[in-house]
Homo-oligomer: A and B are copies of this chain.
């Protein structure tokens, strides 16, 4: 019996939300971790996030109808305005479809913008499903390997210089430090820039961000198995030499290494039976 009603919640006022008390805020988090996730979400943003997680996690299923605006806004203890803006966000990402007289219906998964950064974030927020994570690495492998090949053809001297600097940064600081991770990110960002393909840049940026947070999140449990620096060096050398195939293969190895080091997906999914 799923219900996202606030029945058990600490709603002070039963009805008449005239001056609603400040809802639970999610600022705190004084951790020294990356503030990337700290975006100062507003009311509509938090509700979109809640609903979005409920949808991508499967708690709400495609074809289901959300409750009406009045009912839903009351459940969340917000105004219809805020709730509607939240729904608007979800509709913009293809998760739902709102129509007069019909209601707000959850779309089929094929309609979702799965590669939207927020949707990716919500997807891997709760349960980093193993199957799904491997699918994401599969796509990343395809796209980023090709990107390395393009970079080998199209990189400029400035690109090479920036990548070398990033590798130096990775060497001095390790990946355990924030500075080291920043250098890693710089390397990949520069490589993508060298492709001169805005779509590949947009796609890979979002995907890597999602994977990175997933990785960081679980990182404490155990250290990296292998030093990723040599693999990065191989990619860099191939790009410097302008060897397309070599760059592609080196990047593919690098990503496969990253996949193996991502805790949630230890085993290779070779049981892809039909």
User: Chain A residues in contact with chain B, CB under 8 A?
Assistant: 1-7, 9, 11, 44, 48, 60, 63-67, 70-71, 74-75, 81, 84-85, 88-89, 91-94, 109-110, 112-118, 132, 135-136, 138-139, 142-143, 146, 150, 153-156, 196-203, 205-206, 272, 274
CB <8 Å contact, B117 and A113? yes
| CA of A60 to CA of B88, assembled, Å | 23
CB <8 Å contact, A274 and B202? no
CB <8 Å contact, A94 and B71? no
The residues of B that contact A146 with a CB separation of less than 8 Å are 142
CB <8 Å contact, B3 and A196? no
The residue that A202 contacts in the complex, of B4, B70, B113, B118, with Cβ under 8 A, is B113
Nearest-neighbour CB distance to chain B for A94, whole angstroms, equals: 7
The residues of B that contact A203 with a CB separation of less than 8 Å are 114-115, 139, 203
The residue that A154 contacts in the complex, of B84, B198, B272, with Cβ under 8 A, is B272
CB <8 Å contact, A4 and B274? no
CB <8 Å contact, A198 and B114? yes
Evaluate whether A44 and B88 lie within 8 angstroms (CB atoms) in the complex, with A199-B135, A199-B139 already known.
Answer: yes
The residues of B that contact A64 with a CB separation of less than 8 Å are 1-4
| CA of A202 to CA of B48, assembled, Å | 21
In the A-B complex, the 9 residue pairs with the smallest Cβ-Cβ separation, listed nearest first, are A92-B92, A114-B202, A142-B146, A156-B274, A89-B92, A5-B5, A135-B197, A139-B199, A3-B5
**A94 and chain B: residue at smallest CB distance:** B117
CB <8 Å contact, B84 and A4? no
CB <8 Å contact, B139 and A197? yes
Evaluate whether A67 and B3 lie within 8 angstroms (CB atoms) in the complex, with A92-B118, A118-B92 already known.
Answer: yes
Which of A5, A146, A205, A274 is most buried by chain B, counting CB atoms within 10 A of its CB?
Answer: A5
Q: Jot down 10 A-B pairs with beta carbons below 8 A, ordered by A.
A: A3-B4, A4-B66, A7-B71, A11-B70, A48-B92, A113-B117, A116-B116, A135-B198, A138-B150, A139-B197
Nearest-neighbour CB distance to chain B for A60, whole angstroms, equals: 7
- With A2-B64, A135-B200, A139-B143 given, can you name 17 additional A-B contacts, CB distance below 8 Å? A5-B5, A9-B70, A9-B74, A84-B85, A88-B88, A89-B89, A92-B93, A113-B113, A114-B199, A114-B202, A135-B197, A138-B150, A139-B200, A142-B200, A153-B272, A154-B274, A203-B203
Nearest-neighbour CB distance to chain B for A74, whole angstroms, equals: 7
| CA of A91 to CA of B65, assembled, Å | 25
